[in-house]
């Protein structure tokens, strides 16, 4: 196999990073995205872009809203004719079964 993964892939592989806070999800996603020519979709970056500084909270409701936007962005990117080779979703510390099922539905 020659060339970068991005040059030979015609579809995106979506990797959802999950783990305890501070366990290295973001660090690992960034390192892998560089190595594999992928894109990191970070819920905290999405949150900072959506809400003014004084309105940022880390409530379940705001987390769910930001995650929904993040998953919609991922679905959009995956449907493009030339998607990134890898999408790293850095958005939920420890997703439950309900969140995992919702992610699968949105990303299909």
For residue 58, the Cα-to-chain-centroid distance in whole angstroms is: 18
What confidence tens digit (pLDDT) does each residue in 6-21 have? 444 457 888 988 888 8
48: containing domain? 5-107
Number of compact structural domains in the chain: 1
Enumerate helices (H) and strands (E) in the chain, giving the number of each: 5, 3
Neighbours of 71 (CB within 10 A): 23
CA dist 81 and 72 (Å) reads 17
What confidence tens digit (pLDDT) does each residue in 38-54 have? 999 999 999 999 999 99
Instruction: Give the strands of the sheet with 39-42, arranged side by side.
Output: 13-17, 86-90, 39-42
Q: Which pLDDT belongs to residue 92? A: 67
- In this predicted structure, the answer to whether residue 77 has a pLDDT above a threshold of 60 is yes
Question: pTM for the full model?
Answer: 0.72
CATH number of the domain encompassing residue 62: 3.40.50.300
């Amino acid at each position: 196999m020659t060339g970068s993964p991005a040059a030979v892939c015609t579809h995106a592989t979506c990797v959802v990073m999950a783990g305890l806070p501070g366990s290295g999800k973001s660090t690992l996603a960034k390192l892998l995205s560089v190595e594999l020519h992928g894109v990191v979709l970070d819920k905290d970056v999405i949150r900072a872009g959506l809400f003014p500084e004084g309105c940022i909270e880390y409530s379940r409701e705001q987390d769910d809203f930001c995650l929904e936007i993040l998953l919609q962005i991922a679905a959009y990117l995956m449907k493009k004719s030339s998607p990134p080779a890898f999408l790293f979703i850095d958005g939920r510390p420890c997703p439950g079964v309900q969140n995992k099922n919702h992610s699968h539905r949105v990303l299909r």
